[in-house]
Amino acid sequence: MRLVTWNVNSLKARLPRVLELLETVAPDVVCLQETKCAPEAFPEDVLRDAGYAAVHHSGGRWAGVAILARDGLALSESACGLAGEAQPDQARWIEAVVDGVRVASVYVVNGQAVGTEPFAEKLVFLEAMAARAAGLRDGPGETVIAGDFNICPTDRDVYDVQAFAGATHVTEEERARLRAIETAGGLRDAHEVLHPGEQQFTWWDYRQGHFHRGLGLRIDLALVSEGIAAGLERVGIERDFRKGAKPSDHAPLVVQWRGG
DNA sequence: ATGACCGTCTCAGACGGA
């Protein structure tokens, strides 16, 4: 199965690039984040014409997550929201079962700045994810939690550690909670399974030519259960989607494994 | 090319993003 996770930074603005991705990468499952659309504005028809069924959690102008499944794959048991999250109306978590695999698409709270209320809510959100991951571990089948975690797991995932001193995304508080999600769910960072220690970025600031200067972060992750980790064939970043006409500031992360 | 963002909403400028 081939899964893509991508923070599109507005599905409306990114629809041509999303259709390009479906055509060229031909994923079985797609986890989208920051769809930024109202429920009634979600482009279900266009995606259906492209050969994908969709479930989505749409909250209006901010956030929003979705899961797309290629036609022919069973898509069921979709559920929106996370028990215990601080602001359920923000539309940051959706999960479903696709072809027997439990898939979650998540857009973790940004946190704005250390010490602020949004940062406290980010930590609460991560704790709610750990609780859900533990619940999924007890369920049947394999699990993938994919999305924009807004955390750099290690210093290696930051282009310049000094530039992020005292900032969000790199604190031990955030990183410890990410590790707690992995432990609770029996999940592994797919990138670390296939490419341990390799620096790979998934996000580059639109400003100051950061992409072309190689200044990015790895904040988009796919956490996979052991059965998937053991069959991983490819974990890679589609850098071409960070180039060209109207790119997102995130590039899609592709995760492919043997079997369903 | 020695400077450099892009969405959203409401209508020039705020706000969020990371």
Give the pairing of strands A220-225 and A143-148: antiparallel
CA dist A67 and A22 (Å) reads: 13
A13: nearest nucleotide, CA–C1' criterion: B7
Question: How far from A197 is each of A142, A149, A155, A178, CA to CA, in Å?
Answer: 25, 19, 11, 17
pLDDT score, position A260: 57
Asked whether strand B has any atom less than 7 Å from the CB of A206, the reply is yes
Please give the model's pTM, rounded to 2 decimal places.
0.97
pLDDT given for residue A88 in this prediction? 87
Strand-pair partners of A57: A65
Q: Quick check: A112 CB within 7 A of strand B?
A: yes
Q: Is the Cβ atom of A150 within 7 Å of strand B at any atom?
A: yes
- Pairing status of strand A101-107 against strand A143-148: parallel
Return the structure tokens found at A112: 């704005």
Burial class (CB in 10 A: 0-12, 13-18, 19+), A146: buried
User: CB of residue A155 closer than 7 A to nucleic acid strand B?
Assistant: no
Distance A213 CA to B5 C1' (A): 15
DSSP chain A: -EEEEEE-S-HHHHHHHHHHHHHHH--SEEEEE-----GGG--HHHHHHTTEEEEEE--SSS--EEEEEETTS-EEEEEES-TT-S-GGG--EEEEEETTEEEEEEE----SSTTSHHHHHHHHHHHHHHHHHHHHHTSSS-EEEEEE----SSGGGBS-TGGGTT-TTS-HHHHHHHHHHHHHHTEEEHHHHHSTT----SEE-SGGGTTTTT-EE--EEEEEEHHHHHTEEEEEE-GGGGSSSS--SB--EEEEES--
Strand nucleotide closest to residue A203 (CA to C1'): B18
Cβ contact A48 with chain B strand, < 7 A:
no
Taking C1' of B3 and every protein CA, the nearest residue is A208
Is A104 exposed, middle or buried, given 0-12, 13-18 or 19+ CB atoms closer than 10 A?
buried
**Contact by Cβ (8 Å): A131, A143:** no
Q: Which nucleotides of B are covered by protein (CB under 7 A)?
A: 3-9, 16-18
Residue with tokens 């006409």: A245
The pLDDT value given to residue A212: 92
- What domains appear along chain A, each with residue ranges and CATH number? 2-257 (3.60.10.10)
A217: the nucleotide nearest its CA (via C1') is B18
The answer to whether A246 CB is within 7 Å of strand B is: yes
Torsion of CA A79, A83, A88, A93, to 10 degrees: -50
- 10-residue block means of pLDDT along chain A (260 residues)? 98 97 98 96 96 96 96 96 90 97 97 93 96 96 98 96 92 97 98 97 95 96 98 97 95 92
